[in-house]
Amino acid sequence: MKKTLIAMAVAGVVSAPVHADVGGSIAYGYWDVDGGDSTMGGVIVLNGSGEATTNGGSTVYGNVSLSSSGQELGNWGGSMGLTGVVVGIKGDFGNVSLGDGGSGAHLGQLAGDRWDVTDGARYRHAIGYTNSFEGITFRVTSDPSSDDATTPLVDESGVNSFGLQGTFGGVTVGFGQEDDDSVIGASMSFGDIGLAIHQVSWDATDDTSLAIKVSYSAGAVSASYVTDTMDDADITKSQLDVSYDLGGGAAIKLRNRAADVGGGTEYTRILLSVGF
């Protein structure tokens, strides 16, 4: 009886079949780590997403990625883990999400991740709301877990954020605020070339950082170079990515990451990647 009632309740909410999509990539290649041994290794990434339409016309959705690697998980180290875990509902009222929905500050960091240009976006366990009016997108989030991906909803300090982004005359501009830190940025394209810049004001260190990204994409080749400099701390980090599409879901990918913290290149890698 209980199972029947549950099935009836689910059927009352969902008015269409669930649309699911599973894909991923397998990569194998060479790492040359500064101060360490060169090595060969692989990366496996599985991505899953699904959505269903409700009787009210909105969409219930979910996304998750599983990464496993002897060399790196996402952009740094690790052997296995989940990223991009998010569930939500979206419709005319906007998008309400729970999980890795991204900070409102991301709307301003148009040249890359504002926390560390070499690290990729922070994994977040946030409750978020996103909507758009008159071509301007805004997002608010509250993340009780702060930035610890391994212990969600444990850190009571947490962070709250707000962001705005819009495109005017071909130029995208964005602003974000996360607690006492703020970021403002802009991006534009010139044919195959893209240019983006953003500046972060850090409250804790009373410092500012400037990130600049130049990207190129034409035919089978895509590339990007981003540098992030913190003024008073005199720290500069950079990352170069180049990809060549071989067709059939295969690509050769090169990455070089460097930082003047401690000196030297942190690592260089080249991978043969196959998507499916």
DSSP string, 89-142: EEETTEEEEEES---GGGGT-TTS-SS-TTT-SPP--EEEEEEEETTEEEEEEE
Higher pLDDT: 227 or 18? It is 227
pLDDT value of residue 222: 98
The rounded distance, in Å, linking the Cα atoms of 194 and 190 is 6
Q: Could you tell me the residue ranges of all domains in the chain?
A: 18-275
- The yes or no reply on domain 18-275 and CATH 3.40.50.1100 is no
Cβ neighbours around 99 below 10 Å, total = 21
Q: What is the mean pLDDT of residues 215-244?
A: 91
The rounded distance, in Å, linking the Cα atoms of 136 and 155 is 32
pLDDT value of residue 268: 87
The rounded distance, in Å, linking the Cα atoms of 104 and 112 is 14
Q: What is the mean pLDDT of residues 34-43?
A: 77
Among residues 27, 52, 57, the alpha carbon closest in space to that of 42 is found at 27
| Structural contact between residues 175 and 184, judged by C-beta atoms closer than 8 angstroms | yes
Question: Rounded to two decimals, what is the model's pTM?
Answer: 0.80
Q: What six digits make up the tokens of 3?
A: 């199972």
Whether 148 shows a pLDDT value over 50: the answer reads: no
